[in-house]
């Protein structure tokens, strides 16, 4: 009898040991309660509660263990933003970009701008001051549209997220009478201190008094090597430029920056951001999903060993972009509008996170002597010295005479001559069928009388064609160029193929659609090419993938970009948009940047400074 009991117990234990257990997770619990019931913090990452164990039915068969092949270890890609040890924001007051950059009364600021990274299309979110300060650390203006001192907020803020990540923060407020002071006095203005507006900081006396402190404490913290991970520095009404001349603000800023570096407290992995809360009241421009009346274009600098020196980033950003970038650097949830898809993270400046994929960058319709547009776009090229450069024709947008290349194109785009792969436009061929064009660019652009050629770049096959059909024996099926194109495509069956020439097949511009290069499209479509680049119309336009007849073809179609934005002059669009046009940008010089990957590509239109419209996306090769 005892033996039977033992056998029975053993059998039950065996069943228990062989039972399959599953985990069911309960509904995620928000990290920050009770704020996450509010619309402006719905983007906070939720933390799931602990799993509950539930026994599966005993009839569930025992899983059979199947050995898995040892995975091949792949190198971990670098993070999109460096994980800085220290991040410092210095917020100045009420100045347009053009009031600051190039101003002889601000030598320190302009030296820092020239030596480091300058964001040339950065926008404040609103007027007046306070909404911008709230947006910087809260991701929203919370409906605040005035410089109030009693409009307090029950909402999460960047300090909450920083503390939750195990990091420390402080704000250093110049001329503040004492820690966690409420109200304004003398040269201290509460409207420039967003931290005291958040209930979770203001109502916690110990937290507030130890983190919201006068600027004098920065000197002590640096001397003790006790700089917090995040520091927000607000100068007083004079040194911020609010009440005093720019020269006085600049002198104070130079002294502050020198002191930071001399202290040795920054370490080797830091980011100093110098920005303004808003532009002057006359500038309400914006970008990136901001309201029609935003806060204007402001100068913003990044100083860091991990940022590119002597770099100008023309991608449109806002204060929400800065918040998003810090969140990415430290793995924090996105607050409010930092999570919006229109809010760009600031990724271009970082030396340690740049993609290995090659860049292909350029435009067409470039030079008119005496016009500054080509200098503007040449400066965009300056920022990417590693990129190969294409042109989509009308390198000289006049008569294509020798002196126009030598005296006008050469000082601008010509400084990148060794990495330019040009194609000719109709203006390039107005003088002796392109004789000056061929003489200037040399044998790399194909034989005179032809002007078409191909090359390979990072696994892509690239084809430069000549859309001046009458000058090269036509562009029809039996033309020498069309026959060469088909032979070239057959000889180079690459996974990804790109072609470019001047005159577009499809356009919403004044020139409209053209069938002159239809045979190019047919050959490229049959070869499953990915991209066609054109110029001619002075605008930027991106089309959905199409077949040669202009029918939408998401599976096998070619995506056409018209990039006639190289600097010649602006032109309007035609009376009607072309079918399948997905993005049209007018009255903006700029260049198209393509990142060529082994099985796909990313695109981004880089506009001139002060023009916030852009375009970006990515796609796979056929």
Question: Please, are residues 218 and 257 in contact by the beta-carbon 8 Å criterion?
Answer: no
Would you state the structure tokens that stand for residue 474, as one six-digit string? 């036509």
Q: Is the pLDDT of residue 378 over 70?
A: yes
Name the burial class of residue 7, with classes exposed (0-12), middle (13-18) and buried (19+) by CB atoms within 10 angstroms of its CB: exposed
Q: Is the pLDDT of residue 176 over 60?
A: yes
- Rounded CA separation 457/468 (Å): 25
Q: How far out from the chain centre does Cα 460 lie?
A: 24
As a whole number, mean pLDDT of residues 491-511 equals 97
As a whole number, mean pLDDT of residues 104-114 equals 97
Would you state the structure tokens that stand for residue 125, as one six-digit string? 């979110």
Domain residue extents for the chain: 87-339, 359-620
Return the CATH number of 87-339, one of 3.90.78.10, 3.40.720.10, 3.40.50.720, 3.40.50.12280: 3.40.720.10
Q: At what angle do helices 518-526 and 480-491 cross, to 10 degrees?
A: 20
- Rounded CA separation 160/215 (Å): 21
Report the mean per-residue pLDDT for the chain: 89
Q: Is the pLDDT of residue 233 over 50?
A: yes
As a whole number, mean pLDDT of residues 509-519 equals 95
Round the CA-based radius of gyration of the chain to a whole number and report it. 30
Question: Please, are residues 204 and 198 in contact by the beta-carbon 8 Å criterion?
Answer: no
- The percentage of the chain sitting over the pLDDT mark of 90, rounded to a whole number, equals 84
Nearest to 448 by CA among 456, 460, 440: 440
N-terminal to C-terminal alpha carbon distance within the chain? 74
Would you state the structure tokens that stand for residue 58, as one six-digit string? 């005993």
pLDDT tier for residue 77 given thresholds of 50, 70 and 90: low
Q: Are strands 460-464 and 453-457 parallel, antiparallel or unpaired?
A: antiparallel
CB atoms within 10 A of CB 603: 18
Question: Please, are residues 126 and 278 in contact by the beta-carbon 8 Å criterion?
Answer: yes
Q: CA distances (Å), 223 to each of 18, 254, 260, 263, in order?
A: 63, 19, 10, 7
Nearest to 463 by CA among 421, 418, 514, 424: 421
Q: Is 273 left (phi over 0), alpha (psi -120 to 50) or beta?
A: beta
- Rounded CA separation 211/423 (Å): 59
- Rounded CA separation 613/608 (Å): 9
Nearest to 319 by CA among 538, 89, 101, 533: 89
Q: CA distances (Å), 605 to each of 206, 353, 363, 566, 608, in order?
A: 49, 20, 10, 12, 10
Fold (topology level) of 359-620: Purple Acid Phosphatase; chain A, domain 2 (3.60.21)
pLDDT tier for residue 577 given thresholds of 50, 70 and 90: very high
As a whole number, mean pLDDT of residues 42-69 equals 36
pLDDT tier for residue 356 given thresholds of 50, 70 and 90: low
Nearest to 159 by CA among 215, 199, 217, 216: 199
Q: Is the pLDDT of residue 93 over 50?
A: yes
Question: Please, are residues 502 and 423 in contact by the beta-carbon 8 Å criterion?
Answer: yes
Nearest to 131 by CA among 287, 278, 325: 278
pTM value?
A: 0.81
Q: What confidence score (pLDDT) does residue 352 get? A: 65
Would you state the structure tokens that stand for residue 11, as one six-digit string? 């059998």
- Rounded CA separation 541/533 (Å): 10
Q: What confidence score (pLDDT) does residue 26 get? A: 32
């Amino acid at each position: 009898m005892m033996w039977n009991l033992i056998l029975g117990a053993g059998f039950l234990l065996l069943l228990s040991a062989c039972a399959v257990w599953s985990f069911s997770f309960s509904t995620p619990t928000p990290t920050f309660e009770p704020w996450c019931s509010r619309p402006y913090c719905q983007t906070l990452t939720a933390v799931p509660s602990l799993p509950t164990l539930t026994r599966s039915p005993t009839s569930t068969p025992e899983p059979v263990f199947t050995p898995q092949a040892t995975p091949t270890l792949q190198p971990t890609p670098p993070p999109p933003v460096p994980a800085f040890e220290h991040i410092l924001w210095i917020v100045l007051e009420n100045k347009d970009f053009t009031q600051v950059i190039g101003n002889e009364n601000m030598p320190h600021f302009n030296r820092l701008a020239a030596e480091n990274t300058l964001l040339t299309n950065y926008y404040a979110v609103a007027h007046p001051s306070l909404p911008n300060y709230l947006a910087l650390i809260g991701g929203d203006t919370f409906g605040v549209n005035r410089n109030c001192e009693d409009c307090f907020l029950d909402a999460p803020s960047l300090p909450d997220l920083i503390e939750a990540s195990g990091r420390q923060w402080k704000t250093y407020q110049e001329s503040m009478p004492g820690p966690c002071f409420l109200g304004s006095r003398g040269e201290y203005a509460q409207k420039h201190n967003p931290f005291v507006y958040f209930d979770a900081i203001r109502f916690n006396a110990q937290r507030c008094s130890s983190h919201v402190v006068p600027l004098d404490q920065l000197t002590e913290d640096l001397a003790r090597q006790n700089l917090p991970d995040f520091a927000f520095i607000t100068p007083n009404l004079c040194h911020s430029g609010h009440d005093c001349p720019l020269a006085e603000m600049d002198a104070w800023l130079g002294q502050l920056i020198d002191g930071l570096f001399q202290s040795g407290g920054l370490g080797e992995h830091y980011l100093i951001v110098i920005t303004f809360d808003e532009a002057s009241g006359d500038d309400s421009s914006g970008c990136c999903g901001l309201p029609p009346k935003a806060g204007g274009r402001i100068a913003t600098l990044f100083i860091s060993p991990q940022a590119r020196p002597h770099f100008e980033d023309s991608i449109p950003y806002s204060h929400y972009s800065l918040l998003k970038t810090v969140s990415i650097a430290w793995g924090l949830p996105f607050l409010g509008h930092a999570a919006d898809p229109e809010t760009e993270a600031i990724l271009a400046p970082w030396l340690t996170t740049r993609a290995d994929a090659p860049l292909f960058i350029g435009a067409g319709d470039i030079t008119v002597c005496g016009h500054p547009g080509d200098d503007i776009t040449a400066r965009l090229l300056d920022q990417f010295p590693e990129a190969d450069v294409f042109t989509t024709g009308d390198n000289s947008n006049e008569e294509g005479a020798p002196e126009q290349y030598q005296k006008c194109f050469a000082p601008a785009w010509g400084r990148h001559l060794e990495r330019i792969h040009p194609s000719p436009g109709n203006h390039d061929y107005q003088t002796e069928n392109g004789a000056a064009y061929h003489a200037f660019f040399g044998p790399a652009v194909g034989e005179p009388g032809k002007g078409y050629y191909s090359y390979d770049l990072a696994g892509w096959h690239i084809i430069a064609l000549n859309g001046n059909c009458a000058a090269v024996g036509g562009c029809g099926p039996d033309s020498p160029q069309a026959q060469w194109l088909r032979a070239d495509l057959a000889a180079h069956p690459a996974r990804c193929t790109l072609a470019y020439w001047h005159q577009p097949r499809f356009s919403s511009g004044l020139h409209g659609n053209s069938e002159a290069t239809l045979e190019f499209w047919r050959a490229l479509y049959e070869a499953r090419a990915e991209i066609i680049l054109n110029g001619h119309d002075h605008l930027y336009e991106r089309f959905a993938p199409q077949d040669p007849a202009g029918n939408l073809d998401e599976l096998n179609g070619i995506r056409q970009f018209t990039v006639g934005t190289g600097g010649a002059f602006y032109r309007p669009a035609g009376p009607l948009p072309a079918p399948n046009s997905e993005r049209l940008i007018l009255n903006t010089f700029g260049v198209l940047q393509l990142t060529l990957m082994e099985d796909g590509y990313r695109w981004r239109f880089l506009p001139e400074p002060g023009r916030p419209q852009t375009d970006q996306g990515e796609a796979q090769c056929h």
